[in-house]
Amino acid sequence: MHSIFAPVSPQAIAVTHLWWWMFGVGAFIWVLVTVLALWAVRARSGAREVDALMHVAPAAHHRAERVVSGSIFVTVLILAGFLAYDFSVGRALATHPAQALTIQVTGHQWWWDAIYEDSNPSKQVETANEIHVPVGEPVQLKLVAADVIHSFWAPNLNGKRDLIPGYASTLWFRADTAGIYRGQCAEFCGLQHAKMAFYIIAEPRAKFMAWLAAASTPPAPPTDSGLMAGRRVFMSSGCALCHTIGGTDARATIGPGLTHFKSRATLAAGTLANTRANLTRWIRDPNAIKPGVHMPAIPLSDAQLNSLVSYLETLK
Protein backbone atom coordinates (compact mmCIF):
# COMPACT_ATOMS: atom_id res chain seq x y z
CA MET A 1 0.00 0.00 0.00
CA HIS A 2 3.04 2.22 0.35
CA SER A 3 5.51 1.30 -2.31
CA ILE A 4 6.91 2.31 -5.67
CA PHE A 5 5.95 -1.14 -6.97
CA ALA A 6 2.23 -0.29 -7.09
CA PRO A 7 2.17 3.05 -8.90
CA VAL A 8 -1.22 4.60 -9.63
CA SER A 9 -0.29 7.89 -11.28
CA PRO A 10 1.32 8.47 -14.70
CA GLN A 11 4.28 10.05 -12.88
CA ALA A 12 4.94 7.11 -10.56
CA ILE A 13 4.29 4.62 -13.37
CA ALA A 14 6.95 6.26 -15.56
CA VAL A 15 9.49 6.09 -12.73
CA THR A 16 8.67 2.48 -11.93
CA HIS A 17 9.20 1.56 -15.59
CA LEU A 18 12.53 3.36 -15.47
CA TRP A 19 13.40 1.45 -12.31
CA TRP A 20 12.64 -1.99 -13.77
CA TRP A 21 14.69 -1.20 -16.84
CA MET A 22 17.64 -0.03 -14.77
CA PHE A 23 17.21 -2.99 -12.45
CA GLY A 24 17.38 -5.45 -15.34
CA VAL A 25 20.46 -3.94 -16.92
CA GLY A 26 22.09 -3.41 -13.53
CA ALA A 27 21.51 -6.96 -12.35
CA PHE A 28 22.91 -8.28 -15.62
CA ILE A 29 26.06 -6.18 -15.25
CA TRP A 30 26.47 -7.19 -11.63
CA VAL A 31 26.35 -10.88 -12.47
CA LEU A 32 28.54 -10.41 -15.53
CA VAL A 33 31.35 -8.56 -13.73
CA THR A 34 31.30 -11.01 -10.84
CA VAL A 35 31.46 -13.99 -13.15
CA LEU A 36 34.20 -12.32 -15.16
CA ALA A 37 36.29 -11.74 -12.05
CA LEU A 38 35.82 -15.27 -10.78
CA TRP A 39 36.62 -16.65 -14.21
CA ALA A 40 39.77 -14.52 -14.43
CA VAL A 41 40.94 -15.94 -11.12
CA ARG A 42 39.89 -19.53 -11.78
CA ALA A 43 41.04 -19.61 -15.38
CA ARG A 44 44.67 -19.79 -14.43
CA SER A 45 44.88 -20.64 -10.77
CA GLY A 46 45.30 -24.34 -11.54
CA ALA A 47 48.92 -23.85 -12.48
CA ARG A 48 50.82 -23.71 -9.23
CA GLU A 49 54.34 -23.31 -10.56
CA VAL A 50 55.74 -19.86 -10.15
CA ASP A 51 56.30 -18.66 -13.68
CA ALA A 52 58.64 -15.93 -14.70
CA LEU A 53 57.63 -12.74 -12.95
CA MET A 54 56.46 -9.85 -15.06
CA HIS A 55 56.17 -12.03 -18.10
CA VAL A 56 53.13 -11.31 -20.23
CA ALA A 57 53.04 -12.67 -23.74
CA PRO A 58 52.45 -9.80 -26.19
CA ALA A 59 49.51 -11.62 -27.78
CA ALA A 60 47.79 -12.09 -24.41
CA HIS A 61 48.43 -8.46 -23.57
CA HIS A 62 46.87 -7.28 -26.80
CA ARG A 63 43.87 -9.50 -26.24
CA ALA A 64 43.44 -8.05 -22.73
CA GLU A 65 43.71 -4.58 -24.22
CA ARG A 66 40.91 -5.28 -26.65
CA VAL A 67 38.69 -6.80 -23.95
CA VAL A 68 39.27 -3.92 -21.53
CA SER A 69 38.71 -1.21 -24.13
CA GLY A 70 35.62 -3.04 -25.35
CA SER A 71 34.24 -3.27 -21.81
CA ILE A 72 34.80 0.43 -21.28
CA PHE A 73 33.08 1.19 -24.56
CA VAL A 74 30.06 -0.90 -23.57
CA THR A 75 29.99 0.82 -20.16
CA VAL A 76 29.87 4.20 -21.86
CA LEU A 77 27.06 3.04 -24.18
CA ILE A 78 24.98 1.71 -21.29
CA LEU A 79 25.46 4.91 -19.31
CA ALA A 80 24.44 6.96 -22.32
CA GLY A 81 21.30 4.83 -22.58
CA PHE A 82 20.51 5.39 -18.90
CA LEU A 83 21.05 9.10 -19.34
CA ALA A 84 18.80 9.43 -22.37
CA TYR A 85 16.02 7.42 -20.73
CA ASP A 86 16.31 9.41 -17.50
CA PHE A 87 16.15 12.71 -19.38
CA SER A 88 13.05 11.63 -21.27
CA VAL A 89 11.30 10.58 -18.05
CA GLY A 90 12.44 13.79 -16.38
CA ARG A 91 10.98 15.83 -19.21
CA ALA A 92 7.65 14.07 -18.94
CA LEU A 93 7.54 14.61 -15.18
CA ALA A 94 8.45 18.27 -15.52
CA THR A 95 5.42 19.07 -17.69
CA HIS A 96 2.89 20.64 -15.39
CA PRO A 97 -0.85 20.62 -16.06
CA ALA A 98 -2.52 23.86 -17.14
CA GLN A 99 -5.14 23.59 -14.47
CA ALA A 100 -5.27 21.61 -11.29
CA LEU A 101 -6.87 21.38 -7.91
CA THR A 102 -4.39 23.21 -5.71
CA ILE A 103 -3.72 22.23 -2.13
CA GLN A 104 -1.24 23.99 0.09
CA VAL A 105 0.56 21.48 2.27
CA THR A 106 2.53 22.73 5.25
CA GLY A 107 4.93 20.47 7.09
CA HIS A 108 5.06 20.91 10.85
CA GLN A 109 6.97 19.01 13.52
CA TRP A 110 5.33 16.36 13.26
CA TRP A 111 2.14 16.59 11.24
CA TRP A 112 0.82 17.86 7.93
CA ASP A 113 -1.57 20.72 7.36
CA ALA A 114 -3.55 20.89 4.10
CA ILE A 115 -5.50 23.90 2.80
CA TYR A 116 -7.69 23.50 -0.29
CA GLU A 117 -7.33 26.78 -2.16
CA ASP A 118 -10.41 28.60 -3.29
CA SER A 119 -10.75 32.07 -4.74
CA ASN A 120 -13.32 32.68 -2.06
CA PRO A 121 -11.37 32.58 1.22
CA SER A 122 -14.42 31.60 3.23
CA LYS A 123 -14.70 28.46 1.15
CA GLN A 124 -11.16 27.35 1.82
CA VAL A 125 -11.06 23.99 3.51
CA GLU A 126 -8.37 23.15 6.00
CA THR A 127 -7.58 19.66 7.21
CA ALA A 128 -4.66 17.69 8.53
CA ASN A 129 -2.78 14.48 7.74
CA GLU A 130 -5.45 13.09 5.43
CA ILE A 131 -5.75 14.63 1.99
CA HIS A 132 -8.74 13.83 -0.18
CA VAL A 133 -8.30 14.14 -3.94
CA PRO A 134 -10.51 13.34 -6.93
CA VAL A 135 -9.54 10.37 -9.09
CA GLY A 136 -8.23 11.05 -12.57
CA GLU A 137 -7.70 14.77 -12.11
CA PRO A 138 -4.41 16.59 -11.76
CA VAL A 139 -3.68 17.76 -8.24
CA GLN A 140 -1.05 20.33 -7.49
CA LEU A 141 0.53 20.57 -4.06
CA LYS A 142 2.17 23.79 -2.92
CA LEU A 143 4.68 22.75 -0.31
CA VAL A 144 5.92 24.94 2.53
CA ALA A 145 7.67 24.23 5.80
CA ALA A 146 6.55 25.75 9.08
CA ASP A 147 9.67 25.00 11.08
CA VAL A 148 12.40 22.66 9.81
CA ILE A 149 12.88 20.80 6.54
CA HIS A 150 10.40 18.04 5.80
CA SER A 151 9.87 15.99 2.68
CA PHE A 152 6.51 15.02 1.22
CA TRP A 153 6.51 11.54 -0.21
CA ALA A 154 3.66 9.31 -1.31
CA PRO A 155 5.55 6.67 -3.34
CA ASN A 156 2.50 5.33 -5.19
CA LEU A 157 1.77 8.79 -6.59
CA ASN A 158 5.04 10.58 -7.23
CA GLY A 159 8.59 11.12 -6.03
CA LYS A 160 9.34 13.20 -3.01
CA ARG A 161 9.76 16.93 -2.69
CA ASP A 162 11.47 18.75 0.16
CA LEU A 163 9.70 21.46 2.12
CA ILE A 164 12.39 23.99 3.00
CA PRO A 165 11.86 27.11 5.12
CA GLY A 166 12.22 30.13 2.87
CA TYR A 167 11.42 28.16 -0.30
CA ALA A 168 8.14 27.27 -1.95
CA SER A 169 8.01 24.15 -4.05
CA THR A 170 5.36 22.30 -5.93
CA LEU A 171 4.56 18.72 -6.67
CA TRP A 172 1.77 17.34 -8.78
CA PHE A 173 0.22 13.99 -9.52
CA ARG A 174 -2.89 12.40 -10.94
CA ALA A 175 -4.27 9.42 -9.07
CA ASP A 176 -5.82 7.19 -11.69
CA THR A 177 -7.07 4.52 -9.32
CA ALA A 178 -9.28 5.16 -6.31
CA GLY A 179 -7.65 4.12 -3.08
CA ILE A 180 -5.93 5.20 0.11
CA TYR A 181 -2.22 5.85 -0.31
CA ARG A 182 0.13 6.19 2.60
CA GLY A 183 2.99 8.64 2.67
CA GLN A 184 5.57 9.62 5.23
CA CYS A 185 7.99 12.46 5.89
CA ALA A 186 11.26 11.56 4.20
CA GLU A 187 13.63 14.23 5.53
CA PHE A 188 14.93 13.85 9.05
CA CYS A 189 13.05 16.47 11.06
CA GLY A 190 13.73 15.71 14.70
CA LEU A 191 12.41 13.43 17.40
CA GLN A 192 9.22 12.23 15.74
CA HIS A 193 10.39 12.06 12.13
CA ALA A 194 9.35 8.40 12.28
CA LYS A 195 5.74 9.15 13.13
CA MET A 196 4.88 11.83 10.62
CA ALA A 197 2.74 9.96 8.13
CA PHE A 198 -0.19 11.06 6.01
CA TYR A 199 -2.78 9.49 3.77
CA ILE A 200 -3.95 10.52 0.35
CA ILE A 201 -7.51 9.40 -0.25
CA ALA A 202 -8.31 9.27 -3.95
CA GLU A 203 -12.03 8.98 -4.56
CA PRO A 204 -14.43 9.51 -7.46
CA ARG A 205 -15.33 13.11 -8.19
CA ALA A 206 -18.85 12.94 -6.71
CA LYS A 207 -17.63 11.48 -3.47
CA PHE A 208 -14.80 14.00 -3.33
CA MET A 209 -17.16 16.93 -3.90
CA ALA A 210 -19.41 15.63 -1.14
CA TRP A 211 -16.45 15.42 1.21
CA LEU A 212 -15.37 18.94 0.24
CA ALA A 213 -18.85 20.30 0.84
CA ALA A 214 -19.07 18.62 4.22
CA ALA A 215 -15.60 19.85 5.11
CA SER A 216 -16.49 23.46 4.38
CA THR A 217 -19.46 23.49 6.76
CA PRO A 218 -18.66 23.62 10.47
CA PRO A 219 -20.25 20.91 12.58
CA ALA A 220 -23.43 21.78 14.48
CA PRO A 221 -22.77 22.93 18.05
CA PRO A 222 -23.62 20.37 20.73
CA THR A 223 -26.92 20.53 22.56
CA ASP A 224 -26.46 17.62 24.92
CA SER A 225 -25.21 18.84 28.32
CA GLY A 226 -22.49 16.20 28.54
CA LEU A 227 -21.09 17.27 25.16
CA MET A 228 -21.32 20.93 26.14
CA ALA A 229 -19.25 20.10 29.20
CA GLY A 230 -16.73 18.49 26.86
CA ARG A 231 -16.61 21.62 24.77
CA ARG A 232 -16.02 23.70 27.90
CA VAL A 233 -13.08 21.49 28.77
CA PHE A 234 -11.70 22.03 25.27
CA MET A 235 -12.08 25.81 25.48
CA SER A 236 -10.81 26.27 29.02
CA SER A 237 -8.08 23.66 29.53
CA GLY A 238 -5.61 24.78 26.94
CA CYS A 239 -6.67 22.73 23.90
CA ALA A 240 -7.99 25.84 22.18
CA LEU A 241 -4.59 27.52 22.46
CA CYS A 242 -3.30 25.32 19.67
CA HIS A 243 -6.26 23.83 17.78
CA THR A 244 -9.05 25.18 15.60
CA ILE A 245 -12.64 23.98 15.68
CA GLY A 246 -14.73 25.66 13.01
CA GLY A 247 -17.75 27.59 14.28
CA THR A 248 -16.23 28.13 17.71
CA ASP A 249 -13.77 30.59 19.24
CA ALA A 250 -10.97 28.05 18.94
CA ARG A 251 -8.94 29.34 16.00
CA ALA A 252 -5.33 28.62 16.85
CA THR A 253 -3.19 27.01 14.16
CA ILE A 254 -0.28 25.62 16.12
CA GLY A 255 -1.67 22.08 16.09
CA PRO A 256 -3.82 20.28 13.51
CA GLY A 257 -7.29 21.66 12.86
CA LEU A 258 -9.99 19.57 14.52
CA THR A 259 -13.12 20.92 12.80
CA HIS A 260 -13.95 17.56 11.24
CA PHE A 261 -11.67 15.56 13.43
CA LYS A 262 -13.83 12.44 13.53
CA SER A 263 -13.98 12.26 9.75
CA ARG A 264 -10.32 11.24 9.79
CA ALA A 265 -9.33 7.63 10.07
CA THR A 266 -6.12 8.17 12.02
CA LEU A 267 -4.72 10.11 14.93
CA ALA A 268 -1.34 11.74 15.60
CA ALA A 269 -0.22 11.94 11.94
CA GLY A 270 -1.13 8.43 10.91
CA THR A 271 0.14 6.83 14.10
CA LEU A 272 -3.05 5.43 15.67
CA ALA A 273 -6.48 4.42 14.44
CA ASN A 274 -8.95 7.13 15.34
CA THR A 275 -10.91 5.24 17.99
CA ARG A 276 -12.30 6.46 21.26
CA ALA A 277 -9.83 4.39 23.28
CA ASN A 278 -6.84 5.64 21.29
CA LEU A 279 -8.00 9.23 21.51
CA THR A 280 -8.32 8.96 25.28
CA ARG A 281 -4.85 7.44 25.51
CA TRP A 282 -3.43 10.11 23.23
CA ILE A 283 -4.89 13.08 25.15
CA ARG A 284 -3.93 11.62 28.51
CA ASP A 285 -0.25 11.32 27.58
CA PRO A 286 0.81 12.19 24.02
CA ASN A 287 4.45 11.67 24.99
CA ALA A 288 3.90 8.01 25.68
CA ILE A 289 2.85 7.53 22.05
CA LYS A 290 5.09 10.06 20.32
CA PRO A 291 7.97 10.88 22.68
CA GLY A 292 9.05 14.47 22.17
CA VAL A 293 5.76 15.56 20.61
CA HIS A 294 4.95 19.23 21.11
CA MET A 295 1.42 18.51 22.41
CA PRO A 296 1.53 18.63 26.21
CA ALA A 297 -0.27 16.25 28.54
CA ILE A 298 -2.90 18.37 30.22
CA PRO A 299 -3.95 17.21 33.66
CA LEU A 300 -7.66 16.39 33.40
CA SER A 301 -9.92 14.42 35.67
CA ASP A 302 -11.35 11.23 34.26
CA ALA A 303 -14.76 12.86 33.98
CA GLN A 304 -13.31 15.86 32.14
CA LEU A 305 -11.34 13.65 29.79
CA ASN A 306 -14.36 11.52 29.15
CA SER A 307 -16.60 14.45 28.24
CA LEU A 308 -13.82 16.01 26.12
CA VAL A 309 -13.41 12.80 24.15
CA SER A 310 -17.17 12.50 23.75
CA TYR A 311 -17.26 16.00 22.35
CA LEU A 312 -14.38 15.42 19.93
CA GLU A 313 -16.04 12.23 18.74
CA THR A 314 -18.96 14.32 17.48
CA LEU A 315 -16.80 16.43 15.15
CA LYS A 316 -17.70 14.49 12.04
Partner 1 sequence: MTPDRADRADGAPLPVVLTLSESELAGDAAALDAAWRDRPGLWGWLTAVDHKSIGRRYIITAFLMFLAGGIEAALMRAQLARPENTLLGPDRYNQIFTTHGTTMMFLFAVPMMTAMGLYFVPLMVGARTVAFPRLNAFGYWTYVVGVVFLYVSLFANTGPDAGWFAYVPLSGPQYSPGHRVDVWAQVVTFTEIAALCAAVNVIVTVFKMRAPGMSLNRIPLFVWAQLVVAFMIVFAMPAVATGSTLMLATDRAVNMHWFNPAEGGDALLWQHMFWFFGHPEVYIIFLPALGMITPIVETFCRRPVFGYTAIVMANITTAFFAFGLWVHHMFATPIPELGESLFTAASMVIAIPTGVQIFCWIATMWLGRARLTVPMLFVLGFIFTFVNGGITGVMLASVAFDKQAHDTFFVVAHLHYVLLGGGVMPLFGAFYFWFPKVTGRILNATLGKVHFWLFLIGVNVTFFPMHILGLEGMPRRVYTYLAPTGWGPLNLVASIGAVTIALSVLVFLINAIRSWTHGEPAGENPWDSSGLEWAVPSPPPSYNFLHSPVVRSRHPLWDTDVELPVVTGLRTDRKEVLITSTFDAMPDSRHSSPEPSIWPAYLALCMGVVFIGSIFSPYYVLGGLGLSMIGLFGWGWQSSKRIESELVAVPNGAMVERA
Which part of the chain contacts partner 1 (CB under 8 A), choosing from 152-160, 172-180, 206-214, 236-244?
Answer: 152-160
Which CB sits closer to partner 1, 43 or 220? 43
Q: Does 242 bind partner 1 (CB under 8 A)?
A: no
Cα distances from 229 to residues 41, 75, 222, 258, 279, in angstroms, run 81, 72, 10, 17, 17
Judged by CB under 8 A, the residue of 167, 180, 226, 254 near partner 1 is 167
Q: Does 165 bind partner 1 (CB under 8 A)?
A: yes
Judged by CB under 8 A, the residue of 131, 139, 185, 200 near partner 1 is 185
Judged by CB under 8 A, the residue of 99, 166, 223, 301 near partner 1 is 166
Q: Does 118 bind partner 1 (CB under 8 A)?
A: no
Q: Does 158 bind partner 1 (CB under 8 A)?
A: yes
Judged by CB under 8 A, the residue of 14, 115, 235, 298 near partner 1 is 14
Binding to partner 1 (CB under 8 A) within 23-42 occurs at 23, 26, 29-30, 33-34, 36-41
Judged by CB under 8 A, the residue of 104, 106, 127, 184 near partner 1 is 184
Q: Does 68 bind partner 1 (CB under 8 A)?
A: yes
Which part of the chain contacts partner 1 (CB under 8 A), choosing from 162-170, 208-216, 240-248, 304-312?
Answer: 162-170
Please tell me the number of Cα atoms within 13 Å of 184 on its side-chain side. Answer: 11
| Residues 256, 233: Cα–Cα separation, whole Å | 18
Cα distances from 258 to residues 22, 91, 119, 264, in angstroms, run 45, 40, 23, 10
